[in-house]
Amino acid sequence: MKKIIPVEKNKDYIVEIKGMGYEGEGVGKIDDFTIFIPGAIKGEKVNAKIVKVNKNFAFGKLLNVAQESNYRTEPICGIYKRCGGCQLQHLSYEGQLDFKGQRVKDAIERIGKINPEVLPVIGMENPYNYRNKVQLPVGEANGEINIGFYALRSHDIINMEKCYIQDEISEKIMTLVKQWMITNNIKAYDESTHTGVLRHLMIRKGFKTSEVMVVLVTRTNELPHKDEIIELLTSNIKEVVSIIQNINSEKTNVILGQKSSTLWGKDTIQDYIGKFKFNISPLSFFQVNPVQTEVLYNKALEYANLTGDEIVFDAYCGTGTISLFLAQKAKKVYGVEIIPEAIGNAWENAKLNNVDNVDFLVGKSEQVIPDLINKGIKADVVVVDPPRKGCERVLLEAIAKINPKRIVYVSCDAGTLARDLAILDELNYKTEKIQPVDMFPHTAHVECVVLIQRVDT
């Protein structure tokens, strides 16, 4: 019997919002048929126009709110509804933290089928201007230069004069770059024709050092009028210590190319996480919220509960930032990462901070860690910080075989985290507690640090 769909495209409906989806969209039902409505909040009653109908669900456009949530607030940003940079500015910050905590709980219970303690989300005292890196596409529309973020689910650039999540110095740099382009007739990149010069503007800032790097990402090897942009930036912004040209001549959505040259100043800037300092190049991975990164890493160190006698494996170690934190209290840390350049950065970071009880290895964690085990090297504590896809099962099984006392899991995706915690539960490792950390206020993302203990039988 054919399923009856109770809504029609382009018709308006009153919908009660019973929950919130992965990206913060409101979720309601009409005759048990699910409707996703961006901008709606759990507990509200809204009027929505159906814009897309699928077999099992539909999408609606929010027209007005008949009954408001106490969490609803006026977005601080004037282009919030068009820009894809933030998803949750219509929620008070308290509401954002509540949503993120609930999202983690729902994923753990629904996917993981376990019920550990999920602690309240650790938020920021000031959840604005927290980003130390911004990558802004550059384009042209109707004869005007546009620099900003892409509109949600498109490559239309929303021209931006102010952004409330990036550092304020970025706005000054963006204005100067636009001025330079207009004055010198520097063409913006056109991805449809693969023409033009400037593709992206990337800005990195050391929050504790105030050093600023400006990266001009170009399609062309030559950068016309480069002396003018150097003079404009250095004479107006004293914090700028590095101006880099990065060349990306490929037809691609990847922002940075592999070739960079320093136009002026230093090749890198420096910043700190806790007491550790790091050199940051255009291609370096470095967490974008340094305040919450320190919170996250300190929580990982707390959960590792090291006494100074332990061998620690740090899987997916990246540039070694967590490894250095762990090395403060461990006997030895082995960091594993598949990207050779990241391991090169990790060794440099260890040397820069005079840390000598670390060893960094290139390769897939699910291959390198079993190799270490076969060589007789076993860990007392294992830390994993995988990409969004989570851990390979073979890695989790290899970790369980060496019987570490504790596993600390740092996650950027609640769904894959839940899946992996269920696997570890089968392998006799119990999830004790989950600490969500708000690394990206006003967006739908949430990070977690998880304490997992061996069950002694």
Model confidence pLDDT, tens digit, residues 313-369: 999 999 999 999 999 999 999 999 998 988 999 999 999 999 999 999 999 988 898
- Whole-number Å distance between alpha carbons of 68 and 45: 7
From the list 77, 83, 163, 412, the catalytic residue is 412
Q: State yes or no: pLDDT of 95 exceeds 70.
A: yes
pTM, 2 dp = 0.92
Please report the domains of the chain, with CATH numbers, ordered by start residue.
Answer: 12-67 (2.40.50.140), 100-125+289-454 (3.40.50.150), 133-280 (2.40.50.1070)
CB 34 within 8 A of CB 26: no
Q: What is the DSSP string of 80-112?
A: TTTBSS-S-TTB-HHHHHHHHHHHHHHHIIIII
CB 46 within 8 A of CB 72: no
pLDDT at res. 85: 87
State what percent of residues in the chain have pLDDT above 90: 88
Alpha helices, DSSP H, located in 60-188: 93-107, 169-184
CB 312 within 8 A of CB 382: yes
CB 420 within 8 A of CB 390: yes
Q: State yes or no: pLDDT of 120 exceeds 70.
A: yes
Model confidence at 142, in pLDDT bands (50, 70, 90)?
confident
CB 134 within 8 A of CB 170: yes
pLDDT at res. 1: 57
- Whole-number Å distance between alpha carbons of 283 and 294: 21
State what percent of residues in the chain have pLDDT above 70: 99
- Whole-number Å distance between alpha carbons of 417 and 392: 11
DSSP letter for 277, please.
Answer: E
DSSP bridge partners of 202: 135, 215
Average pLDDT, rounded, for the chain: 94
pLDDT at res. 211: 98
Q: State yes or no: pLDDT of 143 exceeds 90.
A: no
Taking the CA atoms of 152, 154, 155 and 160 in sequence, report the sign of the dihedral they define: negative
CB 413 within 8 A of CB 390: yes
Instruction: Mark whether 391 is an active-site residue.
Output: no
